[in-house]
Amino acid sequence: MSPIAESSPAPFGRLLTAMVTPFDCDGQLDLALAGRLARYLIDEESDGLVVCGTTGESPTLSWAEQHQLINAVRQAVGPGVNVLAGTGSNSTEEAVEATIKAEEAGADGALVVVPYYNKPPQEGLEAHFRAIATATPELPLMLYNIPGRTGCSLSPITVARLMDCKNVLSFKAASGTTQEVTQLRLQCGPRLAVYSGDDALLLPMLSVGAVGVVSVASHVVGRRLNAMIKAYLSGQSALALGYHEQLQPLFKALFSTTNPIPIKAALELSGWPVGPPRSPLLPLNADMKEKLSDILMAIHQP
C-alpha cells in the first residue's frame, strides 16, 4: 500500500519575515522606525513577523530592549497580524522567563532556538523545550534548529518526543538540507508545520512538505516570494521555478557574509535607514555593497 502524504497546516501563515532591528545614529533602538517597517512588511504581503530572532540581532539586545521591541511591533501591526517573538537562550530559566513575558506582551507565538554554546545532549534539549512549553501552555511555539550557529542539532526523534506538548506546533528548519524536513514529517507527522529557515531552499523544502518560510529576503522581495509560494501551491510549478531561479542571486548576496549584515545594507539601499548592525558585527564592505546594489537594481527593473 502506498503512503498518502497529508499536508500540514500553516499556523502562522506561509511567509514570515525575520525582521531586522532598526537602530538610530547612536546605536539605540529606533522603535518608531521598527513600527513603520513592520507595517511596510505586512503591506508587502508577509503573513507575519518574527522579532528578536537571529536577523533581529538578539545576541546584542538586552532582555529589556527585546520586550520593548515586541511591544512596539505588536502595537504597530494590530491584533490581526501574527507576531512571533524570539525568546531562546542557552539558559532554560532565561528562555522560560522571556517566553512568559512575550506572551504577556501579546505575541502570537515564540521562536525558541536550540541552546547555543553549551551543547546539551538530546535529553537536555528535550527538557529545555518541555520546560518552556509547560510554562506557557497556551502560547504556540516554533522550535528553531540552526546548528551552524548553535553548535548542536535538535534531532527529529527528540522533536517527536515533544509532540505531546500541544503548543509545539511548528519548526524552523535551518540545517541547510531538505532531508531535515522529510525526517521531521516521518517522525512527527503532519501536525508539525515545518518552515524553511533558508530563502534559497524554500522551493525545494515546499516540495518535500514544508509549509512556508521564515524569510530574510522578504524585506525587499516579499511580494515575489509570496507569488512563488502561491504558484507552487496552485500547481504552477514552472512559474514557481522561475521565481526561484530569478531570486537566487539575491539570496546568495544576502548570505555572502554573516546575516543580518547584508540585509541591513539592502534596506539602506532601498531607503530604510535601519542603521548598521551592533558590534561585533560590522557594516557591509564597499565592494559587497556595490554588488548588492547592482543585484537589487536588476531584480526591480520592470
Q: Residue-wise over 79-110: b if at least 16 C-beta within 10 A, else e?
A: eebbbbbbbbbbebeebbbbbbbbbebebbbb
**Cα–Cα dist 51/29, whole Å:** 13
227, exposed or middle or buried, with CB in 10 Å at 0-12, 13-18, 19+? Answer: middle
Tell me what the mean pLDDT of segment 241-254 comes to: 97
Q: For residue range 100-155, what is the model confidence (pLDDT) as tens digits?
A: 999 999 999 999 999 999 999 999 999 999 999 999 999 999 999 999 999 999 99
DSSP letter at 163 equals: G
CATH code of the domain containing 140: 3.20.20.70
In this structure, is residue 92 part of a structural domain? yes
* Cβ atoms of residues 57 and 260 within 8 Å: yes
In this structure, is residue 160 part of a structural domain? yes
Angstrom CA distances, 90 to 54, 98, 101, 112, 246, stand at 14, 12, 17, 10, 38
Q: For residue range 54-79, what is the model confidence (pLDDT) as tens digits?
A: 999 999 999 999 999 999 999 999 98
Whether 144 is catalytic: yes
In this structure, is residue 210 part of a structural domain? yes
Q: How many domains does the chain have?
A: 1
Confidence bin at 301 (pLDDT 50/70/90): confident
- What range defines the domain where residue 198 resides? 15-239
Which range (3-7, 45-49, 169-173) has the least confidence?
A: 3-7
Tell me what the mean pLDDT of segment 35-52 comes to: 98
Q: Locate 156 and state its grid cell.
A: 527529529
In this structure, is residue 261 part of a structural domain? no
Confidence bin at 5 (pLDDT 50/70/90): low
Q: Which is the catalytic residue, given 172, 195, 232, 264?
A: 172
pLDDT at 300 over 90: no
pLDDT at 1 over 50: no
Q: pTM (2 decimals)?
A: 0.96
In this structure, is residue 279 part of a structural domain? no
DSSP letter at 216 equals: S
Q: Locate 165 and state its grid cell.
A: 506538548
**Cα–Cα dist 162/146, whole Å:** 18
Distance from the first to the final alpha carbon of the chain: 50
In this structure, is residue 68 part of a structural domain? yes
Average model confidence (pLDDT) across the chain: 96
**Cα–Cα dist 290/168, whole Å:** 42
Q: For residue range 256-279, what is the model confidence (pLDDT) as tens digits?
A: 999 999 999 999 999 999 999 999
Q: Which is the catalytic residue, given 144, 195, 232, 243?
A: 144
In this structure, is residue 46 part of a structural domain? yes
Q: Locate 34 and state its grid cell.
A: 521598527
Q: In terms of Cα–Cα distance, which of 217, 210, 129 is closest to 177?
A: 210
In this structure, is residue 289 part of a structural domain? no
